[in-house]
Amino acid sequence: MKNNNEQFTLIALDSSSSDQSAHYLSRFQHLMNSLQHFNDSNACVDYITNVKNEKILLIISVEHTQMIPTIYLIHQIYAIYIFNLNQCEPTNEDILQYRKVRGHFGTINELVKQIEYDKKCIASNLLTVNIFPECTQGSYSMGDQTGNRNMQEATFMYSQIIRNIFINENYKDTDKNEMIEFFREQYNGNKTELEKIDRFVREYTNERAIYWYTIDGFLYRTINKALRTQDIFTLYHLRYFIKDLHLELKKYHSKQHSNSSQETFVVYRGLGLPRDEFEKLKPDHLISFSEFLSTSKNRQLAEIYVQRGFDDMESILFEIELNYRIPTSTPFADISEQSQFDLEEEILLSMGSVFRIRSLTVTSEKNWNIKLIQTSDEDQQLKLLYQWLDQAIFQVKHLYTKLGSLMLFIYDYDKAEFFLRKVMSQPDFNGDIEKIGATSSIFGEIYFHQNKYEQAILLYQKTIELFEQYPDKSVPSTIQKCYTGLSEICLEEKQYVKALEYSQKSLDIILSDDYMKTIDLLLATRYNNIGHIYYKLGNVERALNYIQKALDYTKSLPSNLPIVSRIFCNLAMTYEQHADYPQSEMYWRKGLEHHLKSMPNNTDATSYLFQAVAINLSDHKKYKEAIEYLKKSLAICKNQGQHALSCCYKNLAIAYHGLEDFQQGAEYLQKAIDIAHTLTNIDLGTMYTDSGNNYYQAKNYEQALVSYSKALEFSQPNAQLAIKIKIFMIYTMQDESNRALEYYELHIKSHMTEVNLNDDILIHYYIGVNYYHLKDNDQALKYLKMAQELVLPNKSDVSLKTFLTDILKKIGSIYVRRDQWSEAATHYAQLLEYHPTAEIYMNIGLIDIKRENFKNGIENLRKASELAKAAGDLSILTIVTKYIESYSRKLN
C-alpha cells in the first residue's frame, strides 16, 4: 500500500471501467491526493481494513449498496456516498437511513460539492486531543484511566521535545530544497498539487508562511497529519516550513500584544470528539493539542463544525480564553490579514498548546460547551527531562545526530539508523575520527537491537581499534559504550562470564574519568547491567546488590527517565528467581507504570512490558488479569513487528489454556503459528508443541497428534524426545496399544538414558497400561512394578502420588484377573495410605468375600458405603448395598 501523507483517502467501488472511473476520480484531485478505485468488493474491504491513520470517504455505486450494512461499522470509514453513475438503478431507501450515508448522487458536480463540504467538516475533527490531570505522578491500573493518562503524557512529552528540536535549528536552502523534493515525490502524478508546488518554489518567502499554510493543499494536509500521528520522518522533511510558521506566529503574537489594549480575549473551535475520549474530560484537567490549532473569534462560524456530528461522537464547542500575559512556548496570532481567507477572523495557535478545563455544560441542542483557559506549558517534569537530554545526548551540533540520539533513546532503532546515515553523508564526516568512532558505536547498538550481532561486534571492535590507533583522539565515553555493547551481545549469547568482564571494563572506564563518574545515569545503567548479568549467573544476592545500587543513583535524575523502568524490571526478574513472588509482581507492575509515564507508548518496549506482567500473572494462575494486559499488548503489536504479534498471540493462548478455554487457546495459538511461518529466528517447534499440549489437555487427541508431528518437523533434536513421549501417550489414550508399543520400540527405547525421573516413571507406567489393555498380564505387571520402584523413593513428592495410586490400582487389578486374591488385597491395602476411596474399600471387601472372610468383607463394604454416600457415588453405593444385604444374611 502506497504511503499516504494526507489525512484522507477517497475510494470508489463500482463496476465501471478503469477509464470511466479515472475520468470522474480526476475531479477530486484538488481535494485529496490518495484516490483508489475497486471493482471487487472483497478487495475493497481488504484495503479499507488495512488503512491505519487515514479517514476514508467511500463512493459506492448502486449495485454494491447491499454491502453497506456489513461495512457500516468499519471505523476507518467516515462517510459513504451512493453514486448512480449510469442512473439506471433505483436506490433502496432503507440504505439512506444509515448515518454515515451522505445521500444518493446523480451527477459528478453534486458529489464533488458534498465531498468538499464533508471533507472540511471532518478535517475540523481530526485533532489529537491529549487529556490528563495536572498532576503527572500516578500509578498504572487496568481498572481506571490512569494508564491511558500516562500514555498520553509520555507521548505529548516527546512530541514537545521533537518540536523544540525542529524550531531551534538553523536551516539553509538545502533544507528547503529537500522539503520540495519530498513533496514532488509524494504528489507525483497529481497535476493540481504539483502546480501548487511549482508556485511555492517561485513565490515562497519566510514572511508568507502563514498564507501558504492556509491554502488547502500539500502543506496544510501533510503537516496536520504528521503532527497528529507524530510521523517523525514527515516532520523531519517539513522542518524548514514548521520553523518558519512557528516564528511568524511568534512575531505576530508579539506585535499584536503590543498593539492590543486587551490582555485576554475568547476564541472558539468546533469539534466532534469520540465518546470514549470525551468521557475523560473533567474540570481542572489539562488538555493539549498536537497540531497547529485553528480557532475563530466568530462563534457562529465555529458552531458550523459542531452541528455536523458523526457516529459515536459528542459535538463540542470549545470556548478558549487566551491570555497574552501567560508565558508560553506556543504563540498565537490573528492571521486574518495573512490568511488566504480574510473573513474567518482566524486565530492560529502553534503546535502543542496547553489549556485547563474550566467547565463543561450541555446546550439546549444537546451539544457541549467546554470552557478552556490558557495555562503555562512549563511542565516541571518535561523541563527536567529536556535539560537532562540536552546535557546527556544533545551536546552535538548537527540536527541529524540529535534526532538519531533521541530515536535511540526511545528505542526506535530504524529511525535512529535513518538519521545516523544522514550524519555519515555529511562532507566532513570521513576526516573526523571522533565522529566516526561515535557513529560506529551507535550503529553497533542499533545492529544489536536488530539482532545483527556479527555486524554489531565488528563495529564495536573497529571503534576500539580506531581509538587505539589514534590515542590522542580517544573518547572514553565512546569506548565504554563499545564494551557495554559487547557485554550485551555476550549476554544474549549466554556467555555470562565474558559479559561480566566487558561490563566491568565499561564501569572501570567510567569510574576513572573525572567527568563520567559524575554522571549518575551512566553509573545507574552500568550497575543495572552488571546486576542483570549476576541474575543470569544465578547469583541472586549480588544481583540484588548491584541493581539496588543502580536504583540509588537514579534518585538524582529526572523521574521520567526510562532507566528506572529497566531497573524495576530487573528487580522483578531477580525476585522471581529468588521465589519472592509478591515482590516480583510488585516490581513488574512498577516497571510498566514507570515506562508508561516516561516513554512513547506505541513501541515494542511497551508491548514487551505488558506481556512480561501478563506472563508473571499467568505463572501464578491469575489468567483473567493476564489476558487484560495481553490485550493491551495486542493493540500495540498490531502496529508493530510480526514477531511481537506472534509472541502476544502465543501468550494469549497460554492464558486461555490456563482458564481451560481450549477453543480460544487453539485459535490464538494458530494465529501465532501462522505468523511464525513468515518469520525467521522464531521457535516453531515450541509453538507446535504448545498447540499439541492445548489439544491434549482438551482431549482432542487427533489434533494433538497433528500438532506434535509438526513440532517434530521444526524442533531441535534435544527437544524431540519429550514430543515423542507425548505421541506415545496419545496412542495409549486412544487404546491403540499395539501402535503405542511399536512407537516406543522405534522412537523412545534407545533414548531411555536421557529421560528425567518423571518421564521414566510415566513411560514405564504407560507401557504397563498398554500391556494391561492387551491382557498380557506378565508384561503389564513387569512394567508397572518397575514404575512403582521408581516412585517409592520419591513418594513424598505430591506430583508423584497420583502415579503411585494409579500404579497400585492397576497391579491390584492384574492380581484380581489372576485370582491371586492375597496379592491383590496387599496392593489395595497399600492404596489406602494414599487414596482411601469408596472404590478401594469396595475392592478390598469383595476380595475378602472371595476369600470367604465375610466379616471383614462386610466391614470394608460398609466403609465403602459411607464414603460413597458422602461422595454421592450412586454406582458404587448400589453395588456395595447389594453385597452387604446378601452376605449379611449368609453371615447370620
Whether residue 644 contacts residue 681, with contact meaning beta carbons closer than 8 Å, is answered with: no
Measured between alpha carbons, how far apart are the two ends of the chain, in Å?
Answer: 92
Which of 449, 448, 480, 442 lies closest to 464 in space, CA to CA?
A: 480
Q: What angle in degrees, to the nearest 10, is found between the helix axes of 476-492 and 496-511?
A: 160
Q: What is the maximum alpha-carbon separation in the chain?
A: 122
> What band does 152 get if pLDDT is binned at 50, 70 and 90?
very low
Question: Which pairs from 17-22 meet CB under 8 Å and 24+ separation?
Answer: 20/85
Instruction: Please give the pLDDT value at position 766.
Output: 93
Q: What is the pLDDT of residues 629-643, one digit of tens each?
A: 999 888 887 766 677
Percent with pLDDT over 90 in the chain: 34
Query: Cell numbers of 312, please?
Result: 459515536
Whether residue 622 contacts residue 633, with contact meaning beta carbons closer than 8 Å, is answered with: no
Residue 540 has pLDDT above 90, yes or no: yes
Query: Cell numbers of 659, please?
Result: 482458564
Dist CA 452 CA 445 (whole Å) = 10
Residue 275 has pLDDT above 90, yes or no: no
If DSSP states are collapsed to H, E and C, what string results for 109-172? HHHHHHHHHHHHHHHHHCCCEEEECCCCCCCCCCCCCHHHHHHHHHHHHHHHHHHHHHHCCCCC
The dihedral built from the CA positions of residue 799, 801, 803 and 806, taken in this order, carries a sign that is negative
Dist CA 584 CA 417 (whole Å) = 35
Instruction: Please give the pLDDT value at position 331.
Output: 93
Residue 122 has pLDDT above 80, yes or no: no
Dist CA 356 CA 809 (whole Å) = 74
Instruction: Please give the pLDDT value at position 384.
Output: 62
Dist CA 448 CA 426 (whole Å) = 25
Dist CA 11 CA 30 (whole Å) = 15
Residue 4 has pLDDT above 70, yes or no: no
Whether residue 58 contacts residue 142, with contact meaning beta carbons closer than 8 Å, is answered with: no
Query: Partners of 320 in the beta sheet?
Result: 267, 372
Alpha carbon of residue 644 to chain centroid: 7
Whether residue 290 contacts residue 315, with contact meaning beta carbons closer than 8 Å, is answered with: no
Dist CA 593 CA 560 (whole Å) = 11
Percent with pLDDT over 70 in the chain: 90
> What band does 343 get if pLDDT is binned at 50, 70 and 90?
low
Instruction: Please give the pLDDT value at position 274.
Output: 78
The fold for domain 8-125 equals: Rossmann fold (3.40.50)
Instruction: Please give the pLDDT value at position 572.
Output: 94
Place of cell 512556548: 329
Which of 521, 494, 490 lies closest to 504 in space, CA to CA?
A: 490
Alpha carbon of residue 662 to chain centroid: 24
If DSSP states are collapsed to H, E and C, what string results for 171-236? CCHHHHHHHHHHHHHHCCCCHHHHHHHHHHHHHCCHHHHHHHHHCCCHHHHHHHHHHHHCCHHHHH
Q: What is the pLDDT of residues 405-442, one digit of tens each?
A: 888 877 788 888 899 888 888 887 887 888 888 888 88
Residue 672 has pLDDT above 60, yes or no: yes
> What band does 201 get if pLDDT is binned at 50, 70 and 90?
very high
Q: Torsions phi, psi of 196, nearest 5?
A: -65, -40
Task: Report how many helices (DSSP H) and strands (DSSP E) the chain contains, helices first.
Answer: 39, 14
> Residues 131, 137, 143, CA angle at the centre, nearest 5°?
70
Dist CA 684 CA 708 (whole Å) = 11
Report in angstroms the alpha-carbon separations of 425 from 171, 440, 447. 17, 14, 19
Instruction: Please give the pLDDT value at position 449.
Output: 86
Q: Is 389 exposed, middle or buried (0-12, 13-18, 19+ CB in 10 A)?
A: buried
Residue 135 has pLDDT above 60, yes or no: no
Place of cell 466391614: 859
> What band does 764 get if pLDDT is binned at 50, 70 and 90?
very high
Whether residue 46 contacts residue 64, with contact meaning beta carbons closer than 8 Å, is answered with: no
Instruction: Please give the pLDDT value at position 645.
Output: 83
Nearby residues of 590 by Cβ (< 8 Å), 6 or more positions away: 568
Strand order in the sheet with 368-374: 129-132, 286-289, 353-362, 368-374, 313-323, 264-274, 293-296, 346-349, 332-334
Dist CA 614 CA 429 (whole Å) = 46
Dist CA 43 CA 21 (whole Å) = 16
Q: What is the pLDDT of residues 300-322, one digit of tens each?
A: 888 876 755 455 678 899 999 99
Dist CA 388 CA 403 (whole Å) = 15
Instruction: Please give the pLDDT value at position 89.
Output: 60
Dist CA 599 CA 601 (whole Å) = 6
Which of 669, 605, 610 lies closest to 640 in space, CA to CA?
A: 605
Side-chain-side CA neighbours of 846 within 13 Å: the count stands at: 20
Dist CA 212 CA 338 (whole Å) = 9
Instruction: Please give the pLDDT value at position 146.
Output: 41
Dist CA 255 CA 762 (whole Å) = 86
Instruction: Over range 106-122, report the average pLDDT.
Output: 83
Average pLDDT value over all residues in the chain: 85
Instruction: Over range 522-533, report the average pLDDT.
Output: 94
Q: Span 148-378: which CATH code? A: 3.90.176.10
Instruction: Please give the pLDDT value at position 51.
Output: 82
Q: What is the pLDDT of residues 715-727, one digit of tens each?
A: 888 889 999 999 9
Which of 188, 165, 325, 327 lies closest to 236 in space, CA to CA?
A: 165
Query: Cell numbers of 544, please?
Result: 540484588
Phi-psi category of 119—alpha, beta or left, where left has phi over 0 and alpha has psi -120 to 50? alpha
Higher local confidence (pLDDT), 49 or 510: 510
Residue boundaries of the structural domains of the chain: 8-125, 148-378, 836-892
Q: What is the pLDDT of residues 869-885, one digit of tens each?
A: 998 889 899 998 998 88
> What band does 151 get if pLDDT is binned at 50, 70 and 90?
very low
Q: Torsions phi, psi of 271, nearest 5?
A: -160, 145
Dist CA 813 CA 824 (whole Å) = 7
**In sequence order, what DSSP letters do the residues of 675-742 get, joined into one string?**
HHTT-SS--HHHHHHHHHHHHHHTT-HHHHHHHHHHHHHHS-HHHHHHHHHHHHHHHHHTT-HHHHHH
Residue 760 has pLDDT above 60, yes or no: yes
**Which secondary-structure segment (H or E) carries 313?**
strand 313-323
> What band does 141 get if pLDDT is binned at 50, 70 and 90?
very low
Residue 675 has pLDDT above 50, yes or no: yes
Instruction: Over range 837-863, report the average pLDDT.
Output: 90
Q: Torsions phi, psi of 662, nearest 5?
A: -70, -30
> What band does 379 get if pLDDT is binned at 50, 70 and 90?
low
> What band does 694 get if pLDDT is binned at 50, 70 and 90?
confident
Instruction: Please give the pLDDT value at position 145.
Output: 40
Dist CA 614 CA 602 (whole Å) = 18
| One-letter amino acid for residue 874 of the chain | L
Which of 72, 118, 243, 121 lies closest to 171 in space, CA to CA?
A: 243
Report in angstroms the alpha-carbon separations of 270 from 143, 224, 430, 644, 703. 32, 17, 54, 39, 57
Instruction: Over range 754-778, report the average pLDDT.
Output: 92
Instruction: Over range 586-611, report the average pLDDT.
Output: 82
Instruction: Please give the pLDDT value at position 111.
Output: 87
Residue 395 has pLDDT above 60, yes or no: no
Dist CA 128 CA 229 (whole Å) = 8
> What band does 268 get if pLDDT is binned at 50, 70 and 90?
very high
Residue 553 has pLDDT above 90, yes or no: yes
Candidate from 19-28, 265-274, 745-754 with smallest mean pLDDT: 19-28
Phi-psi category of 538—alpha, beta or left, where left has phi over 0 and alpha has psi -120 to 50? left
